[in-house]
Amino acid sequence: MTNKEVKTKEELLIKINKLESKIAELEKSEFKISSWLANSPVCTKVLDLDFNLQYMSNAGVRALQIDDVSAFYGKPYPLSFFPDSFNIPMRDNLNRAKETGETIIQEGEIQDVKGNKLWFQATITPVHNKQGGIDHILVVSIDTSIRKRAEEALRLKNLVFDASIAANSIADIDGVITEVNDAFIQMWGSSNKDEVLGKRIVKFFQDQGEAAGIITSLGLTDKWEGNYIAKKKDGSTFLAYGFATSIKDENGTIVGYQSSVQDITERKEAEDSVRKLSTAVQQSPSLIAITDTEGKLEYVNPKFTELTGYSSTDVIGQKPSILKSGEQKDSFYKDLWQTVVSDKIWRGQFHNKKKNGELFWEAASISAILNESGEIINYIKIGEDITQQKINEEELNKALEKALESDRLKSAFLTNMSHEIRTPMNGILGFIDLLNEPSLSRIQIDQYSAIINKSSNRLLNTINDIIDISKIEAGEVVVSTTETSLNSELDELYSFHCAEAKMKGLSLFFEPSLSHEQATIFTDSHKLHGILTNLIKNAIKYTEKGSIEFGVSARSTTKLKADSEPDEVEFFVKDTGIGIPENRMKAIFNRFEQADIGDERAFEGSGLGLAISKAYVEMLGGEIFVESEEGIGSTFTFTIPYVKTEKNELGQKPENFVNGPASLENLNLLIVEDDDVSSELIEAMIKDTFRKITFAENGIEAIEICRNNPEINLVLMDVKMPKMNGYDATREIRKFNKNVLIIAQTAYALLGDKQEAIEAGCNDYISKPFNKKELLEIISKHLGAV
C-alpha cells in the first residue's frame, strides 16, 4: 500500500467516520424532524405530483378532526377533505407551484370534517430533487382562526364604535380624548375630528367639576352611567345620557376611559309628555279603555273601574261587550265597528251594564290609534258617565211636555171658553134686545125668554165647571159623606132627564137592581150626583137616536168567597150615540179635551165634564172607564166603594129655626148684599111676598140692623162682601139671635160652601143665580119646620 494509498485509506476512513457521524446526525435530526412534525402545531402535508396525499402531520389530523388519516393517503388533496369551493383555488395554487416551482401562500376558510369553520394560512412549496426536478409538493398550513377572530372582533368593535349613533370617545388616563366617532363630532357641533382629539373630556360638560367627579368615581368603580348637562362647541347645552368605563391593561392598571353619550333632550321630553299623558289618563274623570285590533281590552283606567265595578284584572283580555246591557240593537255595534275600522271617529251613547247589574249611560268617542306607518294598532274609547244627565234630560223633557201640555191646555181653555161664553152670551144679549121690540106677541116673548133661559143655564154650567175644576186643581175640594140612597138618587136623575131625552126622541132606561137596604150606602151624594148628571147629560148630548140606559150594581171584588159581602158599587151609563174614536178614549178625561179635535165643533161643551167626573170618582175611591165604538155607542162605567157604616162627618148641625113665623107674609126680610143689581133682583122677585124688606150692604151693617131690629126673622146673607163677609157676620148675629133664619147666598157654587155656611151658623144655602121659585122653595122648606 503506497502512502498515497494509505493517505487515501485514511482519508477514506476519515470520510467514512465523517459520513457515519453525519448519518448519525442525520438520523438524529430525522428523529427530531419526525418528532417535531408529530408535535408541531403546524399542519404539514406531503403530496405527490398528482397531488395525492402522502403524509399529513398530527396537527392536520387534529385540526381537521380526522379519525383515521390513513384512509386519506393516496387520495387527491384537498378533494377528499373539502368541498369544491375550497378545492378550486387550492388546486390552482398547487398547479401553479408545480409549474413555476415557486412557493405560494394561500389564505382561506375551511370546514373540518364535522362542519366547524377554521381559518388557515397555507404555504405551498414544491420540493426539488438534486437534479432540480420536483418530487413532491409540501403544503404547510397553520390555523389562523384565533387571530382571524380577534381581527374580526376588532373590526366589528371599530365598526360599532364608528357607526354607533351614540357619541363614542376614548380618553387616556389624563382624560384627554384620543379617539371619537362621527356622532361625537356632530354632537360637539363640528365636522372636524381634529377639533376634538386632544381636548380634555371635561370640556364637554357644562359643569367641569361634575365631570372631574365622574372620572374620579370611574377610577374606583370602573363604571359610571347617568344624565348630565353636556356642552357643545358653541356653548349651548343639552341633556345627555352617558355611559363610561375605564380601560385597563393586562395588569389591571387603568390606562384610559371610554364613554358613550346620547342627546336625550327629545327622549326626555317624550318621556315627560308620556308621563303627563299617562297621569292624565290615570286621573281622568273620563272612562278610558284601550283595546287591541281585535277589540280585546288592554287597558282600563281607574275611573272605568270606579264606575263599572270591573277591575283591570277582570276585563283585560275581554271584549268591551262585557258591558253590554242588551238594551241596544246589534246594528248599533255594527255601525260602531264599521266606523272605527275605517279610521273614523265614532261618537255615540252606550246604555251599558255595571258589574252589579245596574244600568248606566255613557257618552263615548272611539277612535283608532295608528303607528308611524299608518296601521291601526289599537282602539281607544273615551267615555263620560251621563246617567244623571239622562235623568235630568228626561225630567226636562217631562217638564217640557208638561209645559207644552199646559200651553196646549191654555189654548184649548181659551178656545173652549171663548166659545162657551160667547155663544150663550150672544143668545142672551140678542134675545134681550129683541124683547124690546114693541110689537112682540106673548108667544114670541115666551119663546125669547126660553132661549134666554137656556143660554143662561149653559153659561152657568160652564162657569160652574170652571170653578169646580179650579177647586179640584187647588186641592180645595173635600169629600163629605152622608147616608145616601142610590135608588133615590138614580130615580131622581131619571125623572130629571126623562123629558130632555124624550125631546130628542131618545128612550131613557133605568131599572133599579138593588133593594132599598142594599142601595143605602155612605158616600158623597153631591159628588155622585155630579158624576152621574154629567155622564147622562153627555149620553143625551152625543146620541142622536136610540136609547140611553143607566144603572148600578153592587159586587165583591174579593174572589175568595162567592158569597162575600159587596165592597164596590158599579154604575154604568150606556148610549147608542156617536161613539168615541179609539185614540181619543184616554184624552177625553183630560181637562178641555174633546174627542173631536178638529176645528169644527159640532157639540157645545167646555171639555171639563169628564175631567171633573174622573176627579170626583177618584176622590170617592173609585175608577172610571169607557168602552166605545164609533157609530155604535159608548158605555161609561165607574166604581165607588160600598160603605155601609161610615159616619156623617158634617160639622155642627144648624140650629133649628124653632121660633119663626109660620107664613111668608109674616116675614121681615133683611137682604145683605153689596151688589146693587143682585139686591134689586131679589127685591123685584119677592117684594110682594114679605111684610117688610130692609137692606144692608155689608156684614157690619147687617149685624147692626139685626141687633136694632129684632123683628127681622129672615136674612138673605151674601157671603162675599167688603168690610165683613157673610160667614163672620152670621157668627156675630148668632151670638145674640139664635132664631133668625139665615140663608147664605153665594156666587161660587162650590161644593164645600154648604158645609162652610152651616158651620158658620146659617140655616141653609142657595147658590146664585137662583130664580124666584127656587128662593121661595128654600125659605118655605124652613117655615115648614116651625
Geometric angle at alpha carbon 90, from 87 and 94, rounded to 5°:
130
DSSP state of 665: G
Tally Cβ neighbours within 10 Å of residue 636: 26
The smaller minimum CB distance to ligand ADP, of residues 539 and 717, is found at 539
Measured from the CB atom, is 196 or 626 closer to ligand ADP?
626
Site for ligand ADP in 517-546 (CB under 6 A): 534, 538-539, 542
Whole-number minimum distance, CB 410 to ligand ADP, in Å?
Answer: 17
**Residue 607, interface with ligand ADP (CB under 6 A)?**
yes
Q: Enumerate the β-bridge partners of residue 245.
A: 223, 258
Which of 301, 525, 594, 746: binder of ligand ADP (CB under 6 A)? 594
DSSP category for residue 448 = H
- Strands 568-575, 633-641: pairing kind: antiparallel
Q: Which is nearer to ligand ADP, 220 or 503 (CB)?
A: 503
Cα 457 from Cα 674, distance rounded (Å): 24
Task: Record the cell numbers describing residue 688, joined without a space.
Answer: 110682594
Is 367 or 634 the residue whose CB approaches ligand ADP more closely? Answer: 634
- By CB under 6 A, which span of 31-39, 126-134, 609-617, 669-677 interacts with ligand ADP? 609-617
Cell of 551: 144603572
CA distance 87 to 567: 121
Least distance to ligand ADP, CB of residue 581, Å: 9
The stretch among 88-96, 508-516, 594-602, 681-689 that binds ligand ADP (CB under 6 A) is 594-602
Query: At closest approach, how far in Å is the CB of 590 from ligand ADP?
Result: 9
CA distance 217 to 211: 10
Q: Pattern of binders to ligand ADP over 245-284, x per CB under 6 A?
A: ----------------------------------------
Round to whole Å and give the CA distance between 127 and 103.
10
**Helix orientation angle between 442-473 and 609-620, rounded to the nearest 10 degrees:** 50
| Distance of alpha carbon 720 from alpha carbon 746, whole angstroms | 7
Select from 536, 608, 667, 762 the one that contacts ligand ADP (CB under 6 A). Answer: 608
Residue from 171, 287, 610, 741 binding ligand ADP (CB under 6 A): 610
Question: Which is closer to ligand ADP, CB of 256 or CB of 607?
Answer: 607
User: Taking the complex as a whole, how short is the minimal distance between the CB of residue 512 and ligand ADP, in angstroms?
Assistant: 22
Query: Per rule CB under 6 A, is residue 609 in the interface with ligand ADP?
Result: yes
CA distance 525 to 509: 21
Strand positions, DSSP E, 249-399: 254-263, 287-291, 297-300, 346-353, 359-370, 376-385
362 lies in the binding site for ligand ADP (CB under 6 A): no
Q: What angle do CA 292, 294, 300 make, to 5 degrees?
A: 40
Nearer to ligand ADP, 361 or 542 (CB): 542
- Measured distance CA(62)–CA(39) in Å, rounded: 11
Q: Which three cell numbers stand for residue 471?
A: 177647586
| 77 vs 91: CA distance, rounded Å | 8
The Cα–Cα gap between 282 and 280 comes to 5
Compute how many residues bind ligand ADP; rule: CB under 6 A: 21
Calpha distance 456→183 (Å, rounded)? 110
Q: Which is nearer to ligand ADP, 368 or 624 (CB)?
A: 624
| 168-227 binders of ligand ADP (CB under 6 A) | none
Q: Which is nearer to ligand ADP, 177 or 580 (CB)?
A: 580
Closest approach of Cβ 578 to ligand ADP, in Å? Answer: 5
Residue among 222, 567, 596, 674 that touches ligand ADP (CB under 6 A): 596
**601-604 contacts, C-beta under 8 A, 24 or more apart:** 601/419, 603/541, 603/542, 604/419, 604/420, 604/423, 604/458, 604/541
Residue nearest to ligand ADP (CB): 605
Does the footprint of ligand ADP cover residue 693 (CB under 6 A)?
no
Residues 6 or more apart whose CB falls under 8 angstroms from that of 353 comprise 323, 324, 325, 326, 359, 360
Does residue 462 bind ligand ADP (CB under 6 A)?
no
Q: Which stretch binds ligand ADP (CB under 6 A): 205-213, 261-269, 550-558, 601-609?
A: 601-609
Of 438 and 631, the one with the shorter C-beta distance to ligand ADP is 631
Which residue lies nearer to ligand ADP by CB, 349 or 415?
Answer: 415
- 699-708 helix and 726-736 helix, angle to the nearest 10 degrees: 20
Of residues 553-592, those binding ligand ADP (CB under 6 A): 575, 577-580, 588
* Contact set for ligand ADP, span 626-645 (CB under 6 A): 634
Quote the least distance from Cβ 300 to ligand ADP, whole Å: 58
Can residue 595 be called a binding residue for ligand ADP (CB under 6 A)?
A: yes
Residue numbers of the site for ligand ADP (CB under 6 A)? 534, 538-539, 542, 575, 577-580, 588, 594-596, 605-611, 634
